[in-house]
Amino acid sequence: MVNDLINSNSSTTQILILKAARKIFIKKGLSGARMQEIADEAGINKALLHYYYRTKDNLFNAVFMEALKHIQSEFFIILNSDRDLFDKIRFFFDRYISFLQENSFLPGFIIHEINQNPDRLVEFFKNAGIRPPINLIIQVSEEVKNQRIIPINPIQFLLNMLSLAIFPIIASPLIKGIFEIDDPDYKDIIEQRKKELAEWFIDSIMIKKSSNEEQKE
């Protein structure tokens, strides 16, 4: 029988299946993936696949929820970390881009599947009890109020950070095509982003003390 919790005994095969399903679903999406292909990838037969996960939808949900949790928790861990705003920005670009480099198909997969069926997201957030990153939103508002950064809507602030980090990863084949860049060169570009993006972004929002008010503070 299938255990809901992944325990020590029955876990091996179940995890094997999940890994295979992850690989295939993330690459091909729900409608593009084939149960047979997942079974092959896991090195087992279709009957056993259905023995553990009765339906394709079942298996897909397991993969999707796990993926969403993964990408989301990484994001929230960074944003809720106990740091100064600027450090947090540095931390974000470095760590989140690294994370995305190692999971380059994840965000595209999630976005595509949410577009196919937005209800899945609602369900997920309800089950996982996920809340917006109020921490950072407050932090940004505070820094605006303290005139350390320019007046900016915290949502726009976050949207910019996410865009700059995620888009170059999910659109990489397209970008490589447009700019005629090969794989190693593009990797270099992403590495450069990891190094420079944070400082540029900080610079773009930071209010520099002008010389005629330097006596203050």
Partner DNA sequence: ATATGGTTTAACCAATTGGTTAAAATTAAA
Partner DNA sequence: TTTAATTTTAACCAATTGGTTAAACCATAT
Q: Contact positions toward DNA, by CB under 7 A?
A: 1, 9-10, 12-13, 33-36, 43-48, 50-51, 54-57
The burial of 109, by beta-carbon neighbours within 10 Å (0-12 exposed, 13-18 middle, 19 or more buried), is given as: buried
127 part of the interface to its own copies, by CB under 8 A:
no
**Binding partner of 202, given its own copies, DNA, none, CB within 5-8 angstroms per partner class:** none
Binding span for its own copies by CB under 8 A among 38-46, 47-55, 58-66, 151-159: 151-159
Alpha helices in 80-182 (DSSP H): 85-102, 106-116, 119-128, 134-145, 154-170, 172-179
**Binding partner of 83, given its own copies, DNA, none, CB within 5-8 angstroms per partner class:** none
**Binding partner of 50, given its own copies, DNA, none, CB within 5-8 angstroms per partner class:** DNA
- Return the structure tokens found at 9: 């005994």
207 part of the interface to its own copies, by CB under 8 A:
no
Considering only residues 4, 182, 203, 213, which one is a binding residue for its own copies as defined by CB under 8 A?
A: 203
153 part of the interface to its own copies, by CB under 8 A:
yes
Binding span for its own copies by CB under 8 A among 13-21, 58-66, 82-90, 118-126: 118-126
**Nearest approach, Cβ of residue 175 and DNA (Å):** 30
The answer to whether the beta carbons of residues 154 and 81 sit under 8 Å apart is: no
100 part of the interface to its own copies, by CB under 8 A:
no
Binding span for its own copies by CB under 8 A among 27-35, 44-52, 81-89, 92-100: 27-35
217 part of the interface to its own copies, by CB under 8 A:
no
Residue 22's φ and ψ, nearest 5 degrees, are: -55, -50
Whole-angstrom Cα distance, residue 27 to residue 19? 12
Contacts by residues 186-195 (CB-CB < 8 Å, ≥ 24 positions apart)? 190/97, 190/101, 193/93, 193/97, 193/164, 193/168, 194/93, 194/94, 194/97, 194/98
- Between 39 and 136, whose beta carbon lies closer to its own copies? 136
Binding-site residue total for its own copies (CB under 8 A)?
Answer: 55
Count of CB atoms situated within 10 Å of the CB of 68: 21
- Return the structure tokens found at 39: 């079974």
Whole-angstrom Cα distance, residue 165 to residue 97? 6
Binding span for its own copies by CB under 8 A among 36-44, 54-62, 139-147, 155-163: 155-163
- Between 27 and 145, whose beta carbon lies closer to its own copies? 27
